[in-house]
Amino acid sequence: MKEVKRALITGINGQSGSYLAEFLINKGYEVFGTIKRNSVSENQTARLDSIYDKIKDNLIYADLLDVPSLLHALKKSNPSEVYNLAAQSHVRISFDQPVYTAQATGIGTLNLLEAIRIYDPSIKMYQASSSEMFGNSIDADGYQRETTPLNPVSPYGCAKVFSYNICRNYRNSYGMYISNGILFNHESPRRGTNFVTNKVVKSAVRIKLGMEKKLVLGNLNATRDWGHAKDYVEAMWMMLQKEESGDYVCSTGVSHSVLELVQYVFGKLEMDWTQYVSSDDKFMRPEELEDLKGDSSKLRNETGWTPKYTFETMLDEMISHWLEYYSDIKK
């Protein structure tokens, strides 16, 4: 048994990686994380600002496509838990870069599994699986759950299905502890602004402040089950505390359309959305996943997980974030 719990997070500087790092540090873990070389080093660790002093020496340059770098990361961190959050995670961009997405989001997971199997197969691994894997499969009651067939409709979804399956295969073949969290959309002020929630909130705030005139979106009819990333990283950790590994849907069980998201955010800012919002083909996907709504009963029953944020409180936090951000800039 390793004494101090040590965790390695791939993609630690992403939205969920940064919340997970904070969560695990609060739990007393020593946290390590992989980051990728980027030509703009500024802002690369911006999401880690609040814990930077605690982890700056534990950030390791590594890439899921570079197995020796993964072995170095495992050797340096010597973890009892690995959270695989790194990926090319943007669905529409996966149509522009399908091969890279298949490599990073699919083969990258296999590389990590092999590195763990070589270094120490007793390490517990969390795999960031995704509701995008369901594609347009919906159970008769309108929900997706662990037993819903996987029928992906994007290169990203196809790559995630490969990762999900290869994790199950390694669990069964080698007895390794690997859990798939099938997470539905999760958002926060730290969400990249090319994902729809933060794109809408940031733009609406800028329109309110007179900094922007229009917001151009893609499909307004798609529905998503949006939760808060802070709640979802807790679920990731809870999954790995169970005796046995398994596959778990994590979702709020409530879905809204992109249009309802727009109406809520503009309404909160006391603006008439019809004056500002339009739709353009350039933000449409060649094949769209229309509706997502998750049934997370298995996770809730087995771990006691329950989300603290609602759709509304999550968006309120994001609106406040951008209002404060621009008022600080003006000072």
Q: Could you give the residue numbers annotated as active site?
A: 130, 132, 156
What CA–CA distance (Å, rounded) separates 64 from 43? 21
Name the residue with tokens 């996966």: 94
CB 148 within 8 A of CB 91: no
Burial class (CB in 10 A: 0-12, 13-18, 19+), 198: buried
Smaller CB distance to ligand GDD: residue 45 or 154?
154
Determine, following the binding rule CB under 6 A, whether residue 263 of this chain makes contact with ligand GDD: no
CB 89 within 8 A of CB 13: no
Q: Which of 18, 34, 80, 131 forms a contact with ligand GDD (CB under 6 A)?
A: 131
Determine, following the binding rule CB under 6 A, whether residue 130 of this chain makes contact with ligand GDD: yes
Q: Which of 206, 283, 302, 323 forms a contact with ligand GDD (CB under 6 A)?
A: 283
Nearest-approach distance from CB 59 to ligand GDD, in angstroms: 22
* Number of residues this chain uses to bind ligand GDD (CB under 6 A): 22
Residue 55 CA neighbour count, 13 Å, CB half:
34
CB 250 within 8 A of CB 235: yes
Determine, following the binding rule CB under 6 A, whether residue 285 of this chain makes contact with ligand GDD: yes
Smaller CB distance to ligand GDD: residue 63 or 132?
132
What CA–CA distance (Å, rounded) separates 176 from 264? 45
Nearest-approach distance from CB 200 to ligand GDD, in angstroms: 8
Determine, following the binding rule CB under 6 A, whether residue 217 of this chain makes contact with ligand GDD: yes
Determine, following the binding rule CB under 6 A, whether residue 163 of this chain makes contact with ligand GDD: no
Nearest-approach distance from CB 28 to ligand GDD, in angstroms: 29
Q: How many other CB atoms are there within 10 angstroms of residue 129's CB atom?
A: 26
Q: Which is nearest to 5 in space by CA: 27, 20, 23? A: 27
Smaller CB distance to ligand GDD: residue 80 or 179?
179
Which positions touch ligand GDD (CB under 6 A)? 89, 91-92, 130-132, 184-185, 194-196, 199, 217-219, 222, 224, 258, 283, 285, 288, 292
